[in-house]
DNA sequence: CTGAAAGCGCTTACAG
DNA sequence: CTGAAAGCGCTTACAG
């Protein structure tokens, strides 16, 4: 690649040293304004492009952030985290960083194999998008690079985490159902599966408690096995009037099942979701759901990782970003006035 | 970052030069097998991580590929290209590369602004995913980096392109409808919008021609304006028995509309799509559609860009990757036997 | 305000 | 089989 314009080329053309060119292009002190301007213009004219690799060598920073998504959260039907990645990648670019996506294979996660982006010093830090297994979290902690968890947390490890406010989101939307006259409300989700599903369940439970509605164990419906694979939903004998689903996709599946059984939503049952992802709009009727504020979460995570790169000891702890309820057509007011 | 282990550290510990360490770790000639093994083990033990930046400086290669997606093909409801990117990113990683995603903003596309990944020498080449405007194509050609188009092509510019076999895909699936007794078949798509939609239309047309079915202009239904925004579908007065949709998403929209009008699919109308994306499985009934072979296309594009990086003058032209028909439940056999 | 020197960590000839 | 030297393109003290 000898045909690339370097600072030295510019320097020679103008009769100064490359140090001066460096200072000028980086807007540093110690170059007269005229010269600065002259250098900048010549650089532009010569088609100068900054060589990131050289800078990286000097300060040991790549200005790349590795965004790690466990394989099981990807696939044709699961675009949520990819959208998340897109948002992160956008925010990173605004901040002068780049996001390198790494899909963490199940075997690497189990085998505690660190991604090559780490082994090749390709990145300055990690954003981990989606719950990873405990041993892998431990493994990541042995690594000196900063990491921020997104959309999940792990209490033992005290890693910084940016999560959606699962608890209050579920609490709010359950309150909304109750305000609409519902009392027999089921929760759909494997409450032993992920922290998100658990916290959403607890928010739902809090709402019940506050309204002195007794928690009915038969109204906790399992939606997936412990590997995250969806299983056939089993409805209780005595049916509720409303369902709080732990995510929009499960709400979509539930509604399909109810329709198959000859029921109508929201006329026979009200259903709410969580996430506001593609399933919320694609479902007929549109889902009333809790929006995950992807943009705000991305912004926060990027600020965190940036600060941690500059200061290794910086801690942020667990930060919850509140989402709003998006009202669509899957809830019916059954209050008898 | 002084606390990183370098080749020199390993060399000193073992009493050889860093050249020998470099040779050993890269499995080059000129080091005895014993020494090689010893060096590798020590490297492992000392937690040595290769410094990509240093290698980049030497040979001017970043081992990053910029994957550019125009903004208008992204968003919550459009995960197709993100899935594509994921597949590309996976294949790149297998080949020792990394894919850096760049969402091309509309204003940058119109303003002919090159992405920063180019200006900062972050990437060795581009994969452009999704049709970009002509002037931007021209702009890209002024750049010395190799580029491969994916899922679209541009005839004037003779840029290498990996596309799905739109023509024969649509031809095959239209043939399939005809074999099922359909003769009044509409095509849904703005045939002036993208080359894909146009080619799929022509495949549909070829099938009609071969079966001596006259093309009815009223059976060409526009689905989007020239900015790609979906518009309300207008059905012809005399309805067809089947619809060939230019993509699954439009098939989804069409089926929703037909259902609203009180019709049933496939009982009243057969509908087929193209892409086999999330809309194909989410639609009720599941869509019979032409699968885009994302994996194979990614593989091909990565091979192309890799070859072009090594040999600037390498040309591949336009390569079509054939997809298969995925049979689901949106087509009814109406042949009277 | 300007620049010579040194160094970031590796690799590529080349010499022994 | 092994290594000294030079260089990739930049930046950071430091000297003037």
Best-predicted range by mean pLDDT among A119-123, A183-187, B41-45?
A183-187
H and E: helices and strands count for chain A: 13, 12
Residue A299 belongs to some domain of the structure: yes
User: Which carries the bigger pLDDT value, residue B37 or residue B305?
Assistant: B305
Residue A331 lies in a domain: no
Q: Which residue is nearest to nucleotide D7 (CA to C1')?
A: B58
Residue pair B248/B283 in contact by the 8 Å Cβ criterion: yes
The torsion angles phi and psi of A180, rounded to 5 degrees, stand at: -90, 20
A272 with A186, same domain: the answer is yes
- The per-residue pLDDT for B107 is 96
* pLDDT the model gives residue A2: 36
Q: Do A121 and B57 touch (CB under 8 A)?
A: no
The A residues from 65 to 124 touching B (CB cutoff 8 Å) are 74, 76-77, 79, 82-83, 85-86, 89-90, 93, 98-103, 116-122
Give the per-residue SS3 of A59-118. HCCCCEEEEEEEHHHCCCCCCHHHHHHHHHHHHHHHCCCEEEEEEECHHHHHCCCCCHHH
| Paired sense of beta strands B325-326 and B288-291, if any | antiparallel
Residues A191 and A269 in one domain: yes
Same domain, B141 and B124: yes
Q: Determine the Cα–Cα distance for residues A108 and B165; give it in Å rounded to an integer.
A: 35
- In chain B, which residues have their Cβ closer than 8 Å to the Cβ of A121? 4, 49-53
Residue B254 in tokens = 């069409």
Strand D closer than 7 A to residue B313 Cβ: no
pLDDT, tens digit, 9 for 90 and up, residues A269-313? 999 999 998 899 888 899 999 999 999 999 999 999 999 998 888
Non-local CB neighbours of A260 within 8 Å, separated by 6+ positions: none
Task: Check whether residue A56 has its CB closer than 7 Å to nucleic acid strand D.
Answer: no
Cross-strand pairs, B127: B67, B148
Alpha-helical segments (H) within A215-319? 248-260, 278-282, 294-310
- For chain A, the 3-state helix, strand and coil shares in percent, each to the nearest 5, are 40, 15, 40
3-class DSSP assignment, residue A260: helix
Q: Supply the mean pLDDT for chain A.
A: 92
In tens, the pLDDT along A24-39 reads: 998 888 888 888 888 9
Q: Which domain holds residue A11?
A: 7-50
Cβ of residue B51 near strand C, that is under 7 Å? yes
Kindly state whether residue A22 falls inside one of the protein's structural domains.
yes
* Arithmetic mean of pLDDT, A51-59: 90
Q: Verify that B275 and B243 share a domain, yes or no.
A: yes
**pLDDT tens-digit readout, B145-187:** 999 999 998 888 889 999 999 999 999 999 999 999 999 999 9
Overall number of domains in chain B:
3
What per-residue confidence (pLDDT) applies to B253? Answer: 94
Give the whole-angstrom CA distance, residue A117 versus residue B89.
12
Strands B98-104 and B242-245 come out as unpaired
Within a domain: residue A82? yes
**Is the pLDDT confidence value at A103 over 50?**
yes
pLDDT greater than 90 at residue B266:
yes
**What's the pLDDT score for residue A278?**
86
B155 and B143 together in one domain: yes
Element (DSSP H or E) covering residue A324? none
- pLDDT given for residue B3 in this prediction: 56
Least confident of A318-332, B7-21, B115-129: B7-21
pLDDT at B61 over 50: yes
Residue of B nearest to A48 (CA): B119
Are both A288 and A298 inside the same structural domain?
no
State mean pLDDT over A47-52.
91
For A75, name the nearest residue in chain B, comparing CA atoms only.
Answer: B83
Asked whether residue A74 falls in the same domain as residue A178, the answer is no
Q: What is the pLDDT of residues A211-229, one digit of tens each?
A: 999 999 999 999 999 888 8
Domain containing B189 — which CATH number? 3.40.50.2300
CATH code of the domain in which A16 resides:
1.10.260
On the question of pLDDT at B2 being above 50, the answer is no
Chain B CB contacts of A79 under 8 Å are 79, 82-83, 278
Say whether both A157 and A303 belong to one domain.
yes
A123 and A33 within one domain = no
On whether both A172 and A160 belong to a single domain, the answer is no
Best to test chain B binding among A60, A101, A282 (most B CBs inside 10 Å): A101
- Measured between its terminal Cα atoms, the distance across chain B in Å is 78
Element (H, E) at B240: none
Question: Are both A83 and A198 inside the same structural domain?
Answer: no
What number is the average pLDDT over the span A79-101? 92
pLDDT tens digits for B175-223?
A: 999 999 999 999 999 999 888 899 999 999 999 999 999 999 999 999 9
pLDDT at res. A3: 55
Provide the pLDDT for residue A1: 35
Give the H or E element holding residue B303: helix B294-310
B278-299: per-residue pLDDT in tens? 899 888 899 999 999 999 999 9
A277 shares its domain with A183 = yes
């Amino acid at each position: 690649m000898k045909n690339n314009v370097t600072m030295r080329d510019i320097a020679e053309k103008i009769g100064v040293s490359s140090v001066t060119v460096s200072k000028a292009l980086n807007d540093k002190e110690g170059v007269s304004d005229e010269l600065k301007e002259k250098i900048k213009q010549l650089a532009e004219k010569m088609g100068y492009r900054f060589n990131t690799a050289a800078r990286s060598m000097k300060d040991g920073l790549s200005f790349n952030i590795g965004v790690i998504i466990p394989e099981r959260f990807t696939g044709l039907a699961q675009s949520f985290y990819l959208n998340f990645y897109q948002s992160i990648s956008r925010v990173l670019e605004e901040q002068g960083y780049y996001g390198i996506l790494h899909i963490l294979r199940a075997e690497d996660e189990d085998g505690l194999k660190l991604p090559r982006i780490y082994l090749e010093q390709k990145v300055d830090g990690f954003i981990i998008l989606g719950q990873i297994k405990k041993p892998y979290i431990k493994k990541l902690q042995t690594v000196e690079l900063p990491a921020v968890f997104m959309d999940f947390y792990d209490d033992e490890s005290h890693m910084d985490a940016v999560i959606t406010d699962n608890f209050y989101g579920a609490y709010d939307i359950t309150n909304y159902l109750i305000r609409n006259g519902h009392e027999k409300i089921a929760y759909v989700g494997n409450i032993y599966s992920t922290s998100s599903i658990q916290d959403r369940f607890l928010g739902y439970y809090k709402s019940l408690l506050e309204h002195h509605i007794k928690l009915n164990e038969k109204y906790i419906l399992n939606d997936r096995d412990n590997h995250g694979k969806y299983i056939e939903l089993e409805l209780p004998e005595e049916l509720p009037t409303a369902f709080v689903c732990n995510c929009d996709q499960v709400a979509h599946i539930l509604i399909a099942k109810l329709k198959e059984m000859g029921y109508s939503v929201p006329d026979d049952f009200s259903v709410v979701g969580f996430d506001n992802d593609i399933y919320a709009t694609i479902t007929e009727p549109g889902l009333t759901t809790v929006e995950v504020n992807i943009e705000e979460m991305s912004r926060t995570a990027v600020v965190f990782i940036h600060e941690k790169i500059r200061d290794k000891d910086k801690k942020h702890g667990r930060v919850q970003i509140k989402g709003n309820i998006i009202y669509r057509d899957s809830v019916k007011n059954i209050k008898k006035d």
